[in-house]
Amino acid sequence: MSNMLTAETVNGLDLEALAAFVDAVEADAAQAQVQFAVLTRWTGQTRSETTVSGYVLGGAQIERRFKIIADEPQELLGANTAPNPQELLMAAVNACMCVGYAANASLRGITLEVLEIEMHGALDLRGFLGLRDDIPPGYRELHYTVRIRGDGDAGQYAEIHEAVMRTSPNFFNMAQPIRMNGRLEMV
């Protein structure tokens, strides 16, 4: 008979691996450094393809390959072949927060049955089109609703909600100004 140990998972997350990762980051700040990068190429009309080719974690390059396609709806002069950049932005924020909700629930031993985040926002195209200097080209605010159900109680879910708003990188990115350091190269 085998004496194999199986890792404890909650919501599909390996709690032992998570604890080991947290311990490694706590013990060595260099392990906490992560860098992400993407390359986006225009492919015609309003369509673009973004390539993810890897990231750096704790100084080690980790290869991976994904393509993300963006396009605009026909009404915004696109071909409507993919989500537009605003939808992808909201999806990225929601996906990041989903990781936070799932991880925080798992750490508390809460098994989730439902977790969904619905986000919406409105922007004024006069800012994007440069028609009005007093209108920003982006959002002034975004609204979102988190729907969650599992074997936790209301107090635990409130704690998780606060933890996600405090620790989610993309929540932070959207809630705080970020300096954008652009450079133009003629190729």
Q: Is residue 183 part of a domain?
A: no
- The CA-based angle 114-142-75, given to 5 degrees, is 100
| pLDDT beyond 60 at 4 | no
**Cβ atoms 17, 7 nearer than 8 A:** yes
Please give the average per-residue pLDDT across 22-34, as a whole number.
94
150 CB-near residues (< 8 Å, 6+ apart): 105, 110, 111, 112, 113, 114
Point out the domain boundary residue: 55, 82, 109.
82
Q: Which of 99, 146, 96 is nearest to 119 (CA)?
A: 146
**Cβ atoms 35, 58 nearer than 8 A:** no
pLDDT at 6: 57
| pLDDT beyond 80 at 2 | no
Both 74 and 122 in one domain: the answer is no
Point out the domain boundary residue: 47, 66, 82.
82
Point out the domain boundary residue: 58, 82, 106.
82
Please give the average per-residue pLDDT across 59-65, as a whole number.
97
> pLDDT band for position 3 (50/70/90)?
very low
d(CA 149, CA 115): 7
Both 109 and 143 in one domain: the answer is yes
| DSSP classification of residue 110 | P
**Cβ atoms 150, 110 nearer than 8 A:** yes
Both 73 and 132 in one domain: the answer is no
Please give the average per-residue pLDDT across 75-87, as a whole number.
98
What does each C-alpha distance from 161 to 33, 47, 53, 65, 167 come to in angstroms? 25, 35, 32, 32, 10
Q: Which domain holds residue 53?
A: 12-82
Q: Which of 35, 81, 82, 91 is nearest to 58 (CA)?
A: 35
d(CA 122, CA 59): 39
The per-residue pLDDT for range 40-57, each reduced to its tens digit, is: 999 999 999 999 999 999
Give the bridge partners for 40, in sequence order: 50
Both 68 and 131 in one domain: the answer is no
Q: Give the CATH number, domain containing residue 151.
A: 3.30.300.20
Cβ count within 10 A of residue 172: 13
Q: Is residue 126 part of a domain?
A: yes
How many domains, the chain?
A: 2
Q: Answer whether 0.75 is exceeded by the pTM.
A: yes
Per the prediction, the chain carries an average pLDDT of 95
- Phi and psi of 111, rounded to 5°? -90, 125
Q: Is residue 5 part of a domain?
A: no
Both 26 and 108 in one domain: the answer is no
pLDDT at 1: 39
